[in-house]
Amino acid sequence: MKPQSHAFKETAAHAIHDPGLQKALANVRSGFVAKRARARSALPEFDQLCDEARDIKNHTLAHLNLYLEAYETKVREHGGHVHWATDAAEACGIIADICRNQDARTVTKGKSMIGEEIALNDHLERQGFEVFETDLGEYLIQIRGEAPSHIIGPAIHLTRPQIEADFRRVHTGLPADRNLDDATKLVAEARAVLRERFVAADVGITGANLLIAETGTSVIVTNEGNGDLTQTLPRTHIVIASIEKMVPTLEDANTILRILARSATGQDMSTYTTFSTGPKRAGDPDGPDHYHVVLLDNGRSAMLGSQFHDMLRCIRCGACINHCPVYNAVGGHAYGWVYPGPMGAVLTPSLVGIEEAGHLPNASSFCGHCEAVCPMSIPLPKLMRHWREREVDEGRMPLVQRTLFKAWAFLAKRPALYRAASSIGIASLSLLGRRQGRIRALPFASSWTRHRDLPAPQGRTFRDQWRAGRRT
């Protein structure tokens, strides 16, 4: 999808007043946040595992070229194919070619954020293939023509009645009198439709949570089992993964898997953890005949060794998103692309450019909750601050803001002048609101007073009182 991050402010303002969305967002707090806290406290070695996982990723990123080559060699040994894609267009082209070579008509997809990042569905549909998302959340946003609003819960912005209405609109065979008034019935309805897709598909495309260099294996975690059906039933399985998903060994993958689901949904493990290593071998009861891996760079290698290097440790658990007060207020669509919340605020400018995504690293109160819950110890506020510095360096800070800061900094560097100026300012402000204790409207501070009162200053500044001899 084309990024809409430049419209963050407008979309966010709308989202804050969308009662359906606000109701749906309450599930993030009551679900993900509370469950993660329980899962963490139930595992005494959780923090230690996080440190180990961080070290594994740091090591891997420091030797990424070697591990990528080792992985490629292993995949080929198992009879699979590895394709290297520099950007979205190249990745889409490679995948469409594979589908064409297989004379494919229909394609099923497991959930893949990389698929979203490269807008794979749009490309394949333009090339004449029928594409069906099989993850329930992805399926919902596909039939609604929407982007995901969360990296692990793409349809978390929806409420049950909205989903029921969508099914009645799209599933033409659905009898009008069929009861769909709870989640189980909705899942059963989706399952019935999706089962036919799985069986009919010529190509199955999945993402990867991890790639293992030692064995040439890709790993996906799901709670619906749709990933397994997507990758084992069709003749051809295509894995689409970005290069930083690599880990050296099975043991390393295990360490990360132990913190991934706990950080994401609060589960000890996802319901399904699936390892795929090449096509069906002689004697295997099932599996694809053809196995392809498309390794996507799309800006990652440029992040290596840059100020944003640490972001490449991200395992896409979504903990930072779930704990973010800004995300919880505005939801994922406001971020305007594929990756919302703090991880999106750092990653999106790296991938689509700061001129498009400048709002995202700025729209943070720097509360630090994201960094505190990140299992990979990514210093997200610091990285957002680096984006703000980059904007200043590139002269992107609006002139008015820049001028105000310059004036303020000029004063702050001159204590005597600062004291005199603040003394006058505070005296006037105090006159306005001292008796009531608050100021309800201030013309030059309307962005504050539109939403809240401004508590009035007590009177003279501390420094004036101190100079006048007051000591207690």
Partner 1 sequence: MTRTRQSSERQPRVGLFVTCIVDLFRPSVAFAALKLLREAGCDVEVPATQTCCGQPAYNSGLRADARPIAAQVIAAFEDYDYVVAPSGSCAAMLRLHYPELFAADAAYAPRAQAFAEKVYELVSFLVDVMEIDGVDASFGGSVTYHDACSGLRELDIKDQPRRLLESVKGLELKEMDEAETCCGFGGTFAVKYADISSAIAERKTKCAGEAGADCLVAGDLGCLMQLAGKLSREGSGLSVRHVAEVLAGMTDEPAIGAPED
Answer yes or no whether residue 422 interacts with partner 1 by CB under 8 A: yes
Q: What residues contact residue 265 under an 8 Å CB cut-off, 6+ apart?
A: 31, 32, 35, 36, 152, 223
CB 214 within 8 A of CB 70: yes
**Residue 211 touches partner 1, criterion: CB under 8 A:** no
Residue number with CB closer to partner 1 (200 or 411): 411
Q: Which is nearer to partner 1, 173 or 398 (CB)?
A: 398
Q: For residue 144, state whether it binds partner 1 (rule: CB under 8 A).
A: no
What lies within 8 Å, CB to CB, of 19 at 6+ separation is none
Judged by CB under 8 A, the chain residues 450 through 469 that form the site for partner 1 are 450-463, 465-467
Of residues 304 and 442, the one with the C-beta less far from partner 1? 442
By CB under 8 A, the residues from 288 to 307 that bind partner 1 are none
Report the distance separating Cα 175 and Cα 425, nearest Å: 70
Does the footprint of partner 1 cover residue 2 (CB under 8 A)? no
> In whole angstroms, how close is the CB of 433 to partner 1 at the nearest point?
9
**Range in contact with partner 1 (rule: CB under 8 A) among 41-49, 125-133, 144-152, 406-414:** 406-414
Binding mask 307-336 for partner 1 (x = CB under 8 A): ------------------xx-xxx------
| Residues 358 to 397 in contact with partner 1, rule: CB under 8 A | 362-369, 371-372, 385, 387-393, 397
The site that binds partner 1 (CB under 8 A) totals a number of residues, namely 70
Q: Tell me the closest approach of the beta carbon of residue 407 to partner 1, in angstroms.
A: 11
Q: Which stretch binds partner 1 (CB under 8 A): 90-98, 280-288, 312-320, 417-425?
A: 417-425
Instruction: Give residues with Cβ within 8 angstroms of 387, minimum separation 6.
Output: 345, 346, 349, 354, 358, 360, 361, 362
CB nearer to partner 1: pick between 143 and 311: 311
Please tell me the distance from the alpha carbon of residue 233 to that of residue 195, in angstroms, as a whole number: 11
Q: Per CB under 8 A, does 13 bind partner 1?
A: yes
Q: Specify whether the backbone of 368 is left (phi greater than 0), alpha (psi in -120 to 50) or beta.
A: left
Residue number, 59 or 460, with CB nearest to partner 1: 460
- Of 65 and 465, nearer to partner 1 (C-beta) is 465
Question: Where on the chain is the footprint of partner 1 (CB under 8 A)?
Answer: 9, 12-13, 16, 325-326, 328-330, 362-369, 371-372, 385, 387-393, 397, 401, 405-406, 408-409, 411-413, 415, 418, 422, 425-426, 434-438, 440, 445, 447-448, 450-463, 465-467, 470-472
